[in-house]
Amino acid sequence: MDWYPQLHCLWPLSNFNILLYVLFHAIFFLSSEVLGYYGEEHKLLKNINSYRTLYWDKPLLIKNKKARCVAKNIAAKLDQSCHENSLVYKVKLDMYPDELAYCIGNNHTTDGVVLPVCAPKDDLAEVPLLHNYTRTRYAKYINDSTFTWIGIGSNDYWMVVVLSKNTSTWSSSASANGLVSKLGFGHGVVSFVSGDALLSGVMSSFCNYCILFL
């Protein structure tokens, strides 16, 4: 029977370090929009759907990954500060060709709208934020039953809602980029690379105590 050298580690990787590795990945992914809606975005989505169903007897708007990708990237573009009177009625998505091309694979579409409003995070109230969508020119889009999908993005100053119709343009199979925004993809890559580096470092430190038995 052949004998081969075997590496035995006197101090095996502990459960604590495995937990540290998993936690490292979790922090990055939870900080990324890949996982879905949170905070004020989640509240706005819930309130818009309550408004549609209770007041107008319209169906719920369904979260759409491509619409969210467009909304997040438009929000990233609207980086200037604003105040409550900074109304923006640029509802045509064609005004954002780069964001469309990245998220849906086409820089032109007529089956969606973008609804940005000024919503500074340091002075954000739930009800007034909803009224920006239900008591302005945006209300006709929120109440429109032809829109079935929704995506929401935000930054420190702006809340961006993208509504889209149930067409092939917005289906998940039409473009892979629509699954995440540029920022979300970056977070995912950093998480895997940095997490693997962390694990390698931990294992390397422990292998200082490894000996080779013949």
Summarised one tens digit per residue, pLDDT across range 4-51 is 445 444 444 455 555 555 554 444 444 334 445 668 999 999 999 999
pLDDT of 187 reads 41
**Higher-confidence position of 124 and 98:** 98
pLDDT of 159 reads 94
Q: Alpha-carbon dihedral of residues 89, 94, 99, 104, nearest 10 degrees?
A: 130
Over range 127-151, report the average pLDDT: 94
pLDDT of 75 reads 94
Quote the tokens at residue 162. Answer: 């993208």
pLDDT of 208 reads 45
- We find that the CATH architecture of domain 37-177 is 3-Layer(aba) Sandwich (3.40)
Going from the C-alpha of 205 to that of each of 22, 32, 197, the distances in angstroms are 18, 30, 12
Domain boundaries, the chain: 6-30+185-213, 37-177
Q: Is the per-residue pLDDT at 200 higher than 90?
A: no
Contacts of 191-198 with CB under 8 Å at 24 or more apart are: 191/24, 191/25, 191/28, 191/29, 191/32, 192/25, 194/24, 194/28, 195/21, 195/24, 195/25, 195/28, 198/20, 198/21, 198/24
pLDDT of 80 reads 79
The residue written with tokens 């889209």 in the block is 164
pTM: 0.66
**Higher-confidence position of 193 and 163:** 163
Helix (H) or strand (E) holding 154: strand 149-154
pLDDT of 124 reads 75
Quote the tokens at residue 182. Answer: 């540029």
Render pLDDT for 81-123 as a digit per residue (tens, 0 to 9).
Answer: 886 556 565 688 989 999 999 999 988 888 999 999 988 877 7
Amino acid present at 41: E
Dist. CA 49–CA 38, nearest whole Å: 16
Dist. CA 139–CA 112, nearest whole Å: 15
Render pLDDT for 147-183 as a digit per residue (tens, 0 to 9).
Answer: 999 999 999 889 999 999 999 999 876 544 544 444 4
Dist. CA 117–CA 115, nearest whole Å: 7
